[in-house]
Amino acid sequence: MSLFWRVFGLNALVLGAATALLLWAPVTVSVPVLLTEAVILVGGLAVMLVANAALLRWGLAPLGRLTRLMATVDLLRPGQRLPVPGPGGGSEVTELIRAFNAMLDRLEQERATSSARALLAQESERRRIAQELHDEVGQSMTAILLVLKRAADAAQDPLREELHQAQEITREGLDEVRRLVRHLRPGVLDDLGLVSALTSLTHNYATHTGLHVVRSFDAGLPALEQQAELVLYRVAQESLTNAARHADAERVEVSLRRTEEAVVLEVTDDGRGIEAACEGAGIRGMRERALLAGAALLLTSTPGTGTRVRLTVPTPRKS
The tally of CA atoms less than 13 A away on the side-chain side of residue 315 is 14
Domain boundary assignment for the chain? 3-110, 188-319
State the pLDDT at residue 310.
92
304 close to 273: Cβ distance less than 8 angstroms: yes
Instruction: Report which residue type is found at 116.
Output: A
184 close to 130: Cβ distance less than 8 angstroms: yes
Chunked mean pLDDT (size 10), the chain, 319 residues: 67 76 67 73 77 74 74 71 64 76 82 74 79 82 88 84 89 85 75 86 85 88 84 88 82 90 90 67 80 83 82 79
291 close to 78: Cβ distance less than 8 angstroms: yes
State the pLDDT at residue 39.
78
104-134 per-residue burial string, b: 16 or more CB within 10 A, e: under 16? beeebeeebeebbeebeeeeeeeeeebeebb
State the pLDDT at residue 243.
85
Task: Calculate helix-pair angle for 139-154, 159-184, nearest 10 degrees.
Answer: 160
Read off the pTM: 0.61
Question: What is the SS3 assignment for 150?
Answer: helix
Nearest-5° Cα angle at 216, 288 to 289: 5
Instruction: Report which residue type is found at 218.
Output: D
State the pLDDT at residue 19.
74
Q: Please, which contacts does 115-121 make with residues 24 or more away whose CB atoms are closer than 8 Å?
A: 115/288, 115/291, 115/292, 116/291, 116/292, 118/288, 119/288, 119/289, 119/292
CATH of span 188-319: 3.30.565.10
Q: Which residues lie below 8 Å from residue 55, measured CB to CB, with a gap of 6+?
A: 10, 13, 14
Q: Which residues lie below 8 Å from residue 178, measured CB to CB, with a gap of 6+?
A: 134, 138
State the pLDDT at residue 267.
92
256 close to 198: Cβ distance less than 8 angstroms: yes
| Distance between CA atoms of residues 106 and 112, nearest Å | 10
> How much of the chain is in helix, strand and coil states, percent to nearest 5?
65, 10, 25
Instruction: Report which residue type is found at 44.
Output: G
